[in-house]
Structure 1
């Protein structure tokens, strides 16, 4: 069995009482004090996440924008330096290679932040389609990525820097942000994966360890807690943020997953998968991702089948008892004809068919 990869912050996990698991080939913390506690801390105060397992791919060169416009579903012409964009790479049949964030660092210079388990696949996909004056480099080892998320995230991070963080708007970022007592500067973006306000910080590995410690020390009085993958999943699920391998995959298109806002089929460039995605946008996809709330007692887990009467109409992509709402809810990919809010369906929980109803998403939206 292959040895699990570890982020530079791995030694800090044990100090904070983490329980680790295999996550896509990485030994990562699933929880520290407990998933529910960490979830609530992020919703009410702030959570600190090590997301250094994510992949970073640098694409640069005179033809980098033209190249990426043919690979990505969103419209890069809407970007300028210090702006970021959520986007997808797709196969010719519309299935998803990966979902990612692209940061425009400078003219002709882009940083693609991709899912950890997909990094090698994504890098190969980009290299396979490489043409013109474009350079593609895997720079993942150059970064530790920390996320500070929650209503107190800005106040906590502001203690450590003279950069005015309130000036960094959503999906914008600043380069060369300095932190007290840390020699290396960082890239700080107002992005995240929790449904809360917050920041993602990209910094050189050794400095990342120092910043992790400094944040925990300075944020403790404001309720900052280290948070593992368990609560990261429940937080993103409540906010209806897609997880690759569940809400998105090579078999699921961004339109089916409700992510049409990041698929610009009206852009001039012929990107991979455009024809299928355009047709689905205009005529409607065969399946839709919907929210489900259980009426009977039971939790709709990933992979459980969904029925309308005796007809199997789809499956659960993610489901749990929502820590915020205290209700058993799930996301299901079902036939479009049945994707109507208020409609009753059944979910096969082990050998029982339990009643559920289709409800609006996201389940949670910060006030």
Structure 2
């Protein structure tokens, strides 16, 4: 029974009357289930049909399910959490033959099935189409970009005018819309019926489901899970899958070492109305992202909800509820009022509807709004599928299949680095950080995906010692892996308030970088100056966010271990630097790094910022188990400052006694030097962009001293501070690939023009060698290319920002990976992979001759622009004092 206090009821009634909505007094007699709605392709479907006092109960089909009272003593896999994702994992494991040896632990899955039956209605798949409304031109540009890639991959969708929207759904108010995206193949289904079906099929295969079974401990021995302890006994197991939803973080804390799953619940609101005369049962599922709302037809009425810009964290002051039925929260009409007002504006007929109930339920969100999947870094046989927001319906099938395939076959079936749990650091699991961040995360769901989107919460988490100095010099910061690093600098003499498009609600004590446009960005002129300084004079960068590791041994063990891990020959002279990939068994990049040989038995590894956890985990899992090779993450021990440009040698030579000539300190070499009064500075003649310069890895206590001296000396050379946007332009123009943007765990060196960095001509075994030898013999099915747009006007046309379709002779052959403005080439540059498809649509082997022989276009928001193509780095005018071998320049960020 739902009971409302008189004051609350009067307040709710007053708000609804003010909006022209009828509110039923029967609500006081309404009793409902407590399972939150799930999300499918942008629409919501309710967990059950609400029913009023006196309505007959439906048949109990759940009683037909053979659930276990007690768990088995042993199992191959234990799935902790029986929602849609857990059930999907169970089902897919069963389909792969792991049925009788798989156990799902759940507190209330039987009740979900009962509620589905009690609803008394058939709610299978309904292809009603999806209608996405746009209230701004930028939103419509976003839709056109989505349409371009969707159509290239075979999905039908259409851009509509406001008049066409009205004809598609005549109950909508389109007076303030500028258009819409129509996806006719979209639709809705009942996630709980789907869950029940998956559960039933898994049980028929012999899987076990133990209900009302609480997990209390995950037992670990030698970095592996060996058993789980439950309220109904101990289960020995080979694998554990944490699908605990908003409890996933808590489940992670039940092992030693603790598994870090950075999720936290936030309140989510949705409501039903009673049936409304004239409702079209095939009404499209409506999304109005600029108003932060969604709505669809449900049982003759409306089902509506939204993702407000700033959400309310759930259970902020206390622990999570112990049971599923405690998940629903008190209604907050004041908080929901803004969304309700937008719903009534968009569908005025809704004012005639009688409300059923407003739901406030806790939904789990990750700290960056993306799902969390994969094998955890702490243990070898522990998997996670969490942070699905309210998107269980749309995600569960694919995630369940991927996790099951990964467990059974030992490797993931696809690359999903942007969803992998290895993208996080332990700091991201901090509860206060998560509570702060989860206020902002739900609103990201409907935000326009502008380039370089970032968060305003959870900032100032990781900073280099020179952060205050950079801030004082006009740095505008972005964050990667929680690290604040300059994206560009606003020079005080040039600052124009109109040039900066920040979030006006941001109250952080520093400037944050935002690119709230699809066209020429507001920071363009700043980056142009920084680029010019790198090419013509000298610039100073903060590279401190790079992941840094020391790897050493007592004897030669470290060399042997790295030779097996790395695809390049790392047995280089002391003082040398080598760029290498670390391949997986398929030949793909698990890591892309530079190795400096500090001593015969000591290397320093520099890896991309986003690979700090991933790289460290890969090394730990593949270095000798006997402890003969020691690995230390030294990322936070060093401040990294890069000075770059033709005059970099002039600046540094005034602060050190070391001979910096090319003969004494050649490219791709390392020396430990003094700078100013500071010693033990690890200096590397490498810039990661192709320009002359050095990266100085400075013990943190010396960082400010070295920085101040470099800036002081640099004044006479007109040295400029520069950020990562300039670095991006430099490397894209020179055709350098970066891991996580261009490369991933499925990309091989032969596909991206790096076969010269692979030691196939030496009798040295390494991970992935067999796969690369086979690919070299058979050929590749994609090649990395650089495209220069030819008929694009960067002043007025929308820019390519990555993910745009590439066409060869009017046939779709790939997508752009990263893009940027080439200030020397004086146009927009796109990087990406070109494929060849046979008549059956299957990827075929591709050759350089095929790639170069064709007319290319890049589709930007529905307009195709001609482009010239290249497989080699372009020849750029050089201001270097001497030539540099571009082939061996490192490529990471």
TM range (shorter): over 0.9
2:631 corresponds to which of 108, 125, 136:
136
The equivalent of 1:8 in structure 2 is: 465
Which stretch of structure 1 is more off in the superposition, 113-122 or 329-338?
329-338
Task: State the structure with bigger RCO (CA 8 A, min sep 6), 1 or 2.
Answer: 1
The answer for the alignment partner of 2:763 in structure 1 is 268
Alignment partner, residue 28 of structure 1: 485
Match of 2:827 in 1: 327
Distance in 1 between the 2:774 and 2:541 partners? Answer: 39
Give the unaligned 5+ runs of structure 2: 1-436, 438-457, 491-525, 836-845, 879-893
- The answer to whether the 8 Å contact 1:343/1:357 transfers is no
Retained in 2: the 8 A contact 1:101–1:113? yes
CA distance in 1, matches of 2:564, 2:782: 26
Distance 1:366 1:272, change over 3 A: farther
Residues 237-256 of structure 1: pairs in structure 2 closer than 5 A: 237-256=732-751
| Structure 1 residue 360, shift from structure 2 partner | 5.0
Query: Aligned pair 1:173/2:670, yes or no?
Result: yes
For 1:122, the equivalent position in structure 2 comes to 615
306-315 or 161-170, larger mean C-alpha shift: 306-315
Q: 1:303 aligns with which of 803, 810, 828?
A: 803
Equivalent position of 1:352 in the other structure: 863
- Change in Cα spacing, 1:344 to 1:227, as seen in structure 2 (3 Å) is same
Pairing of 1:77-92 with structure 2 (within 5 A): 77=571, 79-92=572-585
In structure 2, distance between residues paired with 1:193 and 1:326: 22
2:814 aligned to 291, 314, 317, which one?
A: 314
Q: Deviations over 1:106-147 (max 9, x none)?
A: 111111111111011111111111215211111222211111
Partner of 2:568: 74
Cα-to-partner distance string for 1:31-56 (whole Å, 9 max, x where unaligned) = 01311110111100011111011111
Match of 1:190 among 677, 682, 685: 685
Picking from 708, 720, 727, the partner of 1:213 is 708
The Cα of 1:357 is off from its aligned counterpart by 2.3
| CA–CA separation in structure 1 for the residues paired with 2:577 and 2:536 | 26
2:475 to 15, 18, 23: 18
Q: Secondary structure at the match of 1:277?
A: helix
Distance in structure 2 (CA, Å) of the matches to 1:52 and 1:356: 36
**Aligned to 2:852, what secondary structure does the other structure show?**
coil
* Distance in 2, Cα, partners of 1:342 & 1:159: 51
Farther off after superposition, 17-26 or 157-166:
17-26
Q: Distance in 2 between matches of 1:320 and 1:111?
A: 31
Aligned equivalent of 2:151: none
Residues 173 and 365 (structure 1 numbering): CA distance in 2 closer, same or farther, change over 3 Å? farther
Alignment of 1:55-74 (within 5 A): 55-61=547-553, 62=555, 63-74=557-568
Distance between the aligned counterparts of 1:363 and 1:11, measured in 2?
38
On the 8 A contact 1:196/1:366 being kept in 2, the answer is no
Distance 1:331 1:281 in 2: 23
CA contact 2:579–2:593 (8 Å) conserved in 1: yes
Q: CA deviation at 1:300?
A: 3.6
RMSD, aligned CA: 1.8
Q: 1:110 corresponds to which residue?
A: 603
Which of 703, 726, 742 aligns to 1:231? It is 726
- What is the Cα deviation at residue 267 of structure 1? 2.7
How far did 1:5 drift? 1.9
Instruction: Quote the Cα distance in structure 2 between the aligned partners of 1:236 and 1:333.
Output: 17
The structure whose Rg is larger is 2
Tell me what 1:43 maps to. 535
Separation (CA, whole Å) in 2 of partners of 1:341 and 1:212: 46
- Using the size of structure 2 for normalisation, the TM-score is 0.40
Q: Deviation per CA, 1:161-192, whole angstroms, max 9, x where unpaired?
A: 111011100111112x1122x23331111111
Unaligned runs of 5+ residues in structure 1 are none
- Paired with 2:546 and 2:579, the residues of 1 have a C-alpha distance of 15
Q: What is the number of equivalent residue pairs in this alignment?
A: 364
Determine helix, strand or coil for the equivalent of 2:597. Answer: strand
User: How far did residue 324 of structure 1 move?
Assistant: 1.6
Contact 1:339–1:358, Cα closer than 8 Å, also in 2 = no
Cα distance in 1 between the residues matched to 2:777 and 2:671: 37
Q: 1:320 to 1:342 in 2, by over 3 A?
A: farther
8 Å Cα contact 1:248/1:254 also seen in 2:
no
Equivalents in 1 of 2:852, 2:692: separation in Å? 28
Tell me the CA shift for residue 99 of structure 1.
Answer: 0.9
Deviation of 1:342 after TM superposition, in Å, equals: 5.9
Relative to structure 2, which stretch is displaced further, 96-105 or 245-254? 245-254
Q: Give the secondary-structure state (helix, strand or coil) at the position aligned to 1:60.
A: strand
Question: How far apart in 1 are the matches of 2:850 and 2:658?
Answer: 46
> What's the counterpart of residue 349 of structure 2?
none
In 2: Cα distance, 1:6 partner to 1:339 partner: 47
- The Cα shift of 1:231 comes to 0.4
* Cα contact 2:834–2:851 (8 A) shared by 1: no
- Tell me: CA distance 1:364–1:7, structure 2 relative to 1, closer, same or farther (3 Å): farther
Aligned equivalents of 1:251 and 1:300: distance in 2? 24
- Distance in 2 (CA, whole Å) between partners of 1:48 and 1:59 is 28
SS in 1 for 2:824: coil
Shift of 1:160: 0.6
Are the equivalent residues in 1 in contact too, given 2:784–2:871 (CA < 8 A)?
Answer: no
**Other-structure match for 2:501:** none
Shift of 1:310: 4.2
Contact persistence 2:598–2:670 (CA under 8 A): no
